[in-house]
Amino acid sequence: MNRSLADWLVLVPGAVLLMYLVYAQAIPAFDYELGVRMGTQESAQQITRVGAAFWYGFAFADLVIYIPLLLAGLYGYWRGSGWCLPVIGAALGITAYWPIVVLAAAVDARGVPGWQIAEAPYWVVLLPVFLWALWSLWQVTSDGRNDGVSETV
């Protein structure tokens, strides 16, 4: 099956994001403090206990919903399966949604006692993730495709 550059630009970053999510979110969903020690999560001393609960909620939701959905969608997209369009679309919708939630929370929490994060790294990582998700969502649903894979080289 021939794949276009656009297909690879959906698949490769998607696979990298999936691997990152398994490391940075799935592990902390089982042990948040291990995630803090690994450097993938913020401690309650940096973001308050409520902030840590919020971040843990994302880790847990990623473990039970987002990671399996992204894995299934990318696999289906790779295989060119017709069933994958709604699955990859749902995963990419989540991928576009969560960076906006996190960035909005980080901005709104500026100056809150106990909230002490360096905001710039969040912008550096999450803005490109958001833009990639929007572009990928457009890509996988454009050109009247219903199998998730383009027919061009």
pLDDT at position 58, please? 94
Can you tell me the distance from the alpha carbon of 58 to that of 90, in angstroms, rounded to the nearest whole number? 16
- Partnered with residue 47 across adjacent β-strands are 115
User: Minimal CA–CA distance to 148: which of 89, 95, 64?
Assistant: 89
pLDDT at position 34, please? 97
| 46 φ, ψ (degrees, to nearest 5) | -90, -30
Map tokens 């960035």 to a residue. Answer: 103
Q: Residue 87 CB: number of other CB atoms within 10 A? A: 21
Is residue 84 within 8 A of residue 38, CB to CB? The reply is no
Q: Angle at the Cα of 19 (from 15 to 25), degrees rounded to 5?
A: 130
pLDDT at position 67, please? 97
pLDDT tens over the chain, length 153 residues: 688 899 999 999 999 999 999 999 999 999 999 999 999 999 999 999 999 999 999 999 999 999 999 999 999 999 988 888 899 999 999 999 999 999 999 999 999 999 999 999 999 999 999 999 999 999 988 854 545 454 443
The pTM for the full model equals 0.86
